Amino acid sequence: MPTAHPFSCPKHMVYGPCGGVRPNGDCEAAPEPCPFADAVVVPPPIETGHRPRSLDLGTAVIDLVLPPADDELEAITDIYRSLGAIALVGEHLDDPRPHIPHVNARRLAVLEQPAIVTVTGRWRSTDEHGDEIARLIDAGVIAVHCVTGDHPAARFGPHATAPFTLDGTRLATIARTAGANVSVGESPAAPPTADRPARLGAKERAGADLAILNHSGTADDLIGFADRVAATGATLALVAPVPVVTDERSAQSLAAFPGLVLADGLVDRVLGSVTPRATGIAAAVAMGRTLLDSGRFAAVNLSGFAHGLTAVQSAELMATIAGDLE
């Protein structure tokens, strides 16, 4: 069993650690050691280990926060579909409300936009999680992205909280049992980094078909992580993260997520340029090409936003990057 700590996990995780462990090993929600950071990786007790299934992910999976207006969403999905891109819809703490996963999935299904839609372990009972996953399957999502989710204290201060029922590993088993294709997350740069490949292997056996990685340094860092995952015997598809940093606000938005690490010098290079947006786009294209050319990744995940652009203009920016990666 995992090593016991006097400090218990604020997310009530059973199969941790989450991706928000801080560089010093502390929990994302409190200045206490993560109770899983020095623990042995414990696989979930499943009768039969699942094997991953192959999914057609194209080249680019692009983050999308759905705008309230249907005409704006239609314009964005027109851009995505022209590229053959898949939308990755999160369930973030600061999303505009209501952003219910199955409602988002149905809006995208009407527009025939392929999507991977996130379900976090927050707010719902176990039965409600099962109901939400069933609705996503009915909406025809490419995959259900199963993650524990950020703790509110990591974003909004020590007094912020939320009820957590399930961690990402247990959600993955529920989704796979229900018949969904299953996506999971992983943060290669979050401690304990040596155990992260084995955690993905455990998530694969729990039901994951693919893993979308969090920003974790350079392309070489990510390629090295992919090789370590393969060395464990895991064969699930990996989607590599490509940060789109075009201004100070876009850098701050990415840095707000616990467990995320950008390549050294990227932000300074973009912000120090006389044409920061063009420099950020070029950096994203270069990184994406390196990752795809390595043969280790099924696709890349473009995330970030440009300050001062509308949602449609941001989609056009992402399309510029994705088009250059074809």
- Quick: pLDDT tens for 7-56: 689 999 988 899 999 999 999 998 999 988 877 656 666 656 789 999 99
Tokens of 270: 């973009």
- When pLDDT is cut at 50, 70 and 90, the band that residue 248 belongs to is confident
Nearest to 253 by CA among 42, 69, 90: 90
What is the rounded average pLDDT of the residues 303-318?
90
The strand pair at 261-262 and 216-217 is best described as: parallel
Residue 106: strand, helix, or coil: helix
- In angstroms, how far apart are the furthest CA atoms of the chain? 58
Q: What is the pLDDT of residue 277?
A: 93
The pTM score is: 0.94
What is the model's pLDDT at position 238? 98
**DSSP state letters, 26-94:** B-SSSSSB-TTTTSPP-----SS----------SEEEE-PPPS-HHHHHHHHHHHHHHTPEEEE---TT
Mean pLDDT of the 283-291 span: 97
Predicted confidence at residue 40, as pLDDT, reads 65
pLDDT of residue 7: 65
pLDDT at 4 over 50: no
Whether the Cβ atoms of residue 204 and residue 179 lie closer than 8 Å to each other:
no
Residue 145 pLDDT exceeds 80: yes
What does the pLDDT look like over 56-105, one tens digit per residue? 999 999 999 999 999 999 999 999 999 999 999 999 887 765 579 999 99
Pick the CATH number of 61-325 from 3.40.50.970, 3.40.50.150, 3.40.50.300, 3.20.20.220: 3.20.20.220
**Mean pLDDT, all residues of the chain:** 91
